[in-house]
Amino acid sequence: MTPMPSPMSGHRAFSPSLADRLSQAVMTTAGALPGPLIRLAAGRTRRVDCQELDPHFQAGIRMIALTSPGEYEDMPVEQARLTVERSAFTASGETVRLPVVEDVVLPLAGMPSASGETTPADLPARLYSPVPGDEVLPMLVYFHGGGWVLGSVDSHDATCRYLAHEGRLRVLSVDYRLAPEFLFPTAVDDALAAYRYVRAHADAFGADPERIAVGGDSAGGNLAAVVCQQTRAAGERTPDFQLLFVPATDMSARTRSYELFGEGYFLTASNMDFYETTYLRSDDDRTDPRASPLLAEDLSGLPPAHVATAGFDPLRDEGEAYARRLADAGVAVSLRRHPTMVHPFVNAVGATPLARAALSEAVGALRMGLA
């Protein structure tokens, strides 16, 4: 079977309003300003844990505080999802033009469930390619962030366009099912089924079967890490690389970075509490390695990784702990903390050159890992 074109092909579920476009233009213009100028709008420099917050991010946080309708956990889920789409669009910058941006459906219904607890369904996805023809390229299967509750292929469209363009690789962004409609481990089963489908049908995507990576940010980084663990445990071919941006790796504990950055830096501790309680079936799930990959007993034999964390992020310490455990298990891993940035910088390609530089650096690690 090959991926079936979606009847919604070429259509974006999120349609920005005129106000959204104006906000995007303002953010893009501000993102091009030098630090000393944007500092006037950002306010007094924030310094925490020997780190200094980038003025572009500081100004962005200030803008969000002034324009946001509230915290995600205080909104109906559909309103929170729309708010995320608008926020991501505002920070997306000028559209990266690619020869191929195609909405597809992955025909996964009827595939055996990885966990035996949920049944895979046909999943929407979006394929990006920097070349128009049949040239075989490396493939990145990408899982968006949003706390397993929010986010979509639309909210991460700018990120995936940038990755495909800069890395000269194909990117498949997977619209896995979200909570509360679908609880843990549905997202895990969807992510695994999507990866397995791409691995089995690489030629249908123009992908090099020897160079298929997984990646994601935040909740998506969590899913990418779990896909690597689960395929290894099943004795299957694992992804050839894992690209983990600000990954959530441990729902069983709170680290020092939660104390330092749990309020006032975009992602909050309360946000994470909301995401986890919405996604998980019970507190027992918190210690399941499919939810908390840091708790897996053995990380040996996993694919090489690039782990990128943000200095001003509640998830910073657990992401770095995961990278250290990978290294201790003999896995080739590069760990990069971006000390001046917040969670999730991958969605800020239009807001600051630092975000673009961080993505470009990660793409370099990915290309090297797949070489």
Contacts of 41 by beta carbon, 8 Å cutoff, 6+ apart = 30, 59, 62
Please tell me what DSSP assigns to residue 218: T
Cβ atoms of residues 107 and 101 within 8 Å: no
Q: Which SS3 state, helix, strand or coil, does residue 115 take?
A: coil
Rounded to whole angstroms, how far apart are CA atoms 140 and 216?
Answer: 10
Q: Catalytic residue among 154, 313, 317, 338, which?
A: 313
Active site residue 122: no
DSSP characters over 274-321 = HHHHHH-SSGGGGGSTTT-GGG-S--TTPPPEEEEEEEE-TTHHHHHH
Given the structure tokens 């893009």, which residue do they identify? 28
Q: Quick check: helix, strand or coil at residue 308?
A: strand
- Both tokens of 64, joined, read 């969000």
**Whether 56 is catalytic:** no
Angle between helix 55-67 and helix 35-42 axes, rounded to 10 deg: 30
313 tagged catalytic: yes
Give which of 269, 273, 305 is closest to 286, Cα–Cα. 273
Catalytic pick from 56, 156, 338, 343? 343
User: 103: closest CA among 16, 205, 5?
Assistant: 5
Cβ proximity of 307 and 336 under 8 Å: yes
Mark out the alpha helices in 245-338 (DSSP H runs): 256-261, 269-279, 316-328
Q: Per the residue annotation, which of 218, 285, 292, 338 is the catalytic one?
A: 218
What residues are labeled active site?
218, 313, 343
